[in-house]
A and B are shown apart, each in its own frame.
Chain A
Amino acid sequence: MTQMLDARAGKITEEMEIVAAQEHMDVEYIRQGVADGTIVIPKNKKRNRSQICGIGQGLDIKVNALIGTSSDRDQMEMEAKKLKIAEEAGCHSFMDLSTGGDIDGMRRQTLSLASVSVGSVPLYQAGIGAIKKRGSMVAMTADDIFGTIEKQAADGLDFMAIHSALNFDVLKSLQKCGRVADIVSRGGSFMTGWMFHNQKENPLYEQFDRLLAIMKEYDVVLSIGDAIRPGATADSLDEPQIKGLMVAGELVKKALEAGVQVMVEGPGHVPLNHIETTMQLQKRLCHNVPYYILGFLATDVAPGYDHITAAIGGAYAGMCGADFLCYLTPAEHLGLPNEEDVRTGVTAARIAAHAANSGKRRKKAWESNLGMAKARIALDMDKQVKLALNADKLLEAKAKEHYDQCTACGETCAAQIAAEYFGIV
């Protein structure tokens, strides 16, 4: 059974109860959402952990952080530190995107350390495994891919990004449309290289039922990877992206029919004026399942500050219905994030999520803003610290006694008179 099948059978699971309590909502709303596929609860049957959260329509927007080793940097200890920092900063989930060193060991470390849900991109390990075992990524077999997926699912991953929504039809569009940046998804590029070299259709598309069987067995949330996402604002909403989204929609339908929890990954680089359309298209074509977006980056020109460009795009997308924001760090487009970048990235994504939650008048978000406004007027520093999305800078300033009293007015501050009038003293 999956949460979705339970929900359809009218059964309320413990996870649904937890999500309902967190969101201050009726558990029946959650059950109905899971049954319909508008809400997912990532929770692998094999994995026990302390933190559960729901993602989807009518819920607070959630934030994901990325960690993982690479061929350039393979330090599991550093990744463990990042994981701790990201959880402290308030992320709701991780994706372990390891491509270097002991990928199995790294994944098991992440699963054991994380108290939130964990996702992965199994194609990375399958591709890198093929390089090691067979000398080349293009020598990877369909069994290699599905074997890796099964192994990772059995390890307890709660969600998996899988690049099924890519086929020759989509690639034909890509070849003829003249994109600026053809494919920026790493998994998408692995699969594209494999398909062209072998002149074979994408096994993750062709053998989608095989994939669904694994997802179902462990109740892994399938996150349909955005292989063809735009990597430049100039490429946003072009033909290949839309075709990819249509393929994703067909696959979503199959997943829903099979009782597999599913969400769809989204871009990428999207100018503000494309965001609402992007969101509506995804919701319509993909049957209202949750949309998990990378950014959106609202401009291409701010390397070093992409946590900010992503906060802009993410917040606006959140207003338009995006459910799950993958963080971006200041290192995006430039290198691998360090610990500080991870903290900054999570905080920026949480600001975006919170801005959208506030704009949508979500109760918890709205009340925290109101509480902060009142704490500011009351000069209640402890309460401000408590209500801050990330109190680190406030505490730093407090420690330095950065507060410089204004003395311009002389004996009686004019603003004080106004404060008395309004009953703020």
Chain B
Amino acid sequence: MSLLRNKALQGVMTQEIEQVAEQEGVSPEFIRQGVAAGTIVILHNSNRENVSPIAVGQGLRTKVSASIGLYGKNATIAEEAAKIKAAVAAGTDAIMDLSVSGDIDTMRKESLAASNKPLGTLPLYQALAEAGKKYGSSLKMTSEDIFEVIERQAADGVDFLALHCGTTMDIIQRAKREGRIDPLVSYGGSHLIGWMLYNKKENPLYENFDRVLEIAAKYDVTLSFADGMRPGCLADSLDGAQVHELVILGELVQRTRAAGIQVMVKGPGHVPMDQLKATVTLQKSLCKGAPYFVFGPLVTDTAVGYDHISAAIGGAVSAWAGAEFLCYVTPAEHIGIPDVNQVREGVVAARIAAHCGDLAKGMPEAVKWNLEMSQARRDLDWEKQISLAIDPATTRKVWKERSGDFSSKCSMCGDYCAMEIVSQYLGNNEQHSC
């Protein structure tokens, strides 16, 4: 079977390339070149029927991903499926099923069926959970167990796989040496590190990286390198452990591309505002322009309960600086598991961030959208404002609740509408419906 990336390199316009080019309003040739160069990935597993592929990368609209998944005893597949629906309704571009317990296989099948958005997973979670059941402890997990789960998930049709391929023993020791404040942030990373230390073994995903590539090639899955050493507080940002892992991931990006497989790199995490641009620039340089899939980033550690706002700040500036894919952060971050409403809020906040980045980059669609909204606002055309809003249902609700019982047409200024007063004197009152 010929891989999408190899076809692009050969100059073949695939159906997926045509499809995403149309979505993005760019030429298929632009997409083909990006895929060939590795600066664009098209999320699409060759085994999955119902996926509507999306492209992530340089020169394209910034995308967002929402994470759901079974966690803890009270989680149900039905509720997680409802979160997928809510995330899709709120406009997410992709879903990640990060189930760590329960019936993970069934959940994944449900996640694949629940929407036609590309689905990502983190196979290590399932490998750990199954080892916990099978051997009584996840520490007894074998390398074989990990690869078996990766293959199972890829065969099911997962479009992108998050794998901690770059978290090596060297890096773990560096983190300890340097006295990282918070060395255990990534759930998968922490468990993998524990497994490596307990078993005194190198990371199998690093050591047997060619096996990862073989599986990815079989199903044409996009790899998403997870960062076991992502900073979990501002003070750890851009420390030796994080940068070292990025160096290794850069090397693995080249091996992945050479194997004809698409790859992107995951990023932080907690990043102070003065380091956002540096973080993206470094990733772009070390990882040879591979798309950057950042988690937030959160620009403060203390906005607990409001981390979707903290993440929107970091995400917007990062998107502007070149990060192409934002993993949402919900208001439940650092508190618990998000409910359906928090999933929705997380998606909208991430979409606002992505869009602010796109607008700053001068992307024509983003500029046009803002202009249309501003015109609708000037014209006091409420229906148009609502239809153009990033979340029309919420906009309508807030509008009704905060002005529905008021007498004037626009309660912001009540009887003293700035636009109306000025339009009388600047001779453009015909545009004004108030």
- Residues on A lying within 8 angstroms of B by beta carbon are 70-73, 99-100, 124, 127-128, 137, 174-175, 180-186, 188-190, 192-193, 196-197, 231-235, 269, 271-273, 298-305, 307-309, 311-313, 315-316, 319, 330-338, 341, 347-348, 351-352, 354-356, 358-361, 365-366, 368-370, 372-374, 376-377, 384, 387-394, 396-397, 402-419, 421-422, 424
Contact = CB atoms under 8 A, between A and B. Distances in A.
Interface string B411-431: 111111111011111101000
Interface string B287-325: 000000000000111111110111011101100100000
Contact of B353 (A182, A312, A354, A424): A312
Contact of A100 (B331, B414, B417): B414
Given A414-B192, A415-B190, 11 more contacts: A137-B421, A271-B360, A301-B370, A304-B394, A305-B391, A331-B402, A351-B313, A358-B272, A359-B274, A419-B190, A421-B194
Contacts of B332: 397
Given A331-B398, A358-B234, A402-B335, A312 B313 contact: yes
B305 A391 contact: yes
A416 B194 CA distance: 7
A233 B367 CA distance: 9
Interface stretch (B9-17, B201-209, B259-267, B382-390): B382-390
Interface in B87-133: 100-101, 125, 128-129, 131-133
Contacts of A370: 181, 233-235, 301
B180 A186 contact: no
Contact of A418 (B190, B349, B408): B190
A337 B399 CA distance: 10
Interface string B375-415: 10110000001101111001101110111101110011111
A184 B194 contact: no
Nearest to B331: A393
B412 A333 contact: yes
Contact of B135 (A73, A190, A410): A410
A192 B394 contact: no
B191 interface: yes
A327 B281 CA distance: 31
B416 A232 contact: no
A409 B128 contact: yes
Given A180-B378, A407-B72, A414-B139, A369 B422 contact: no
Interface in B322-360: 331-332, 334-337, 348-349, 352-353, 355-357, 359-360
B411 A336 contact: yes
A192 B418 CA distance: 10
A415 B184 CA distance: 8
Contact of A355 (B310, B389, B406): B310
A273 B194 contact: no
Interface in B363-379: 367, 369-371, 373-375, 377-378
A308 B403 contact: no
Contacts of B183: 418, 422, 424
Contact of B389 (A186, A302, A348, A402): A302
Given A188-B418, A234-B371, A393-B331, A373 B301 contact: yes
Contacts of B367: 234
B359 A298 contact: yes
Interface of B: 71-75, 100-101, 125, 128-129, 131-133, 135-139, 172, 175-176, 180-184, 187, 190-195, 197-198, 232-236, 270, 272-275, 299-306, 308-310, 312-314, 316-317, 320, 331-332, 334-337, 348-349, 352-353, 355-357, 359-362, 367, 369-371, 373-375, 377-378, 385-386, 388-391, 394-395, 397-399, 401-404, 406-408, 411-419, 421-426, 428
B176 A422 contact: yes
B373 A336 contact: no
Given A182-B419, A183-B422, A373 B233 contact: yes
6 contacts: A182-B428, A190-B416, A304-B397, A370-B181, A414-B191, A422-B175
Contact of A419 (B184, B187, B275, B369): B184
Contacts of A330: 398
Given A99-B414, A334-B402, A369-B233, A233 B370 contact: yes
A301 B373 contact: yes
Contacts of A190: 416, 421
B423 to A, nearest CB: 7
Contacts of A100: 414
A370 B237 CA distance: 12
Contacts of A391: 304-305
B300 A388 contact: no
Contacts of A304: 389, 391, 394-395, 397-399
B232 to A, nearest CB: 7
A223 to B, nearest CB: 18
Among B133, B172, B370, B424, chain A packs the most CB atoms within 10 A around the CB of B370
A422 B236 CA distance: 14
Contact of A336 (B138, B362, B388, B402): B402
B374 A233 contact: yes
What are the 5 closest A-B residue pairs judged by CB atoms, nearest first? A393-B305, A335-B402, A359-B273, A335-B403, A373-B233
Contacts of A389: 300, 302-304, 306
A91 B336 CA distance: 28
Contact of B425 (A99, A124, A197, A309): A197
A303 B398 contact: yes
A414 B300 CA distance: 28
B426 A182 contact: yes
Contacts of B234: 358, 366, 369-370, 373
Nearest to A360: B274
B356 A415 contact: no
Contacts of A390: 303, 305-306
Given A186-B416, A415-B187, A384 B304 contact: yes
A334 to B, nearest CB: 4
A253 B371 CA distance: 36
Given A182-B422, A298-B359, A415 B408 contact: no
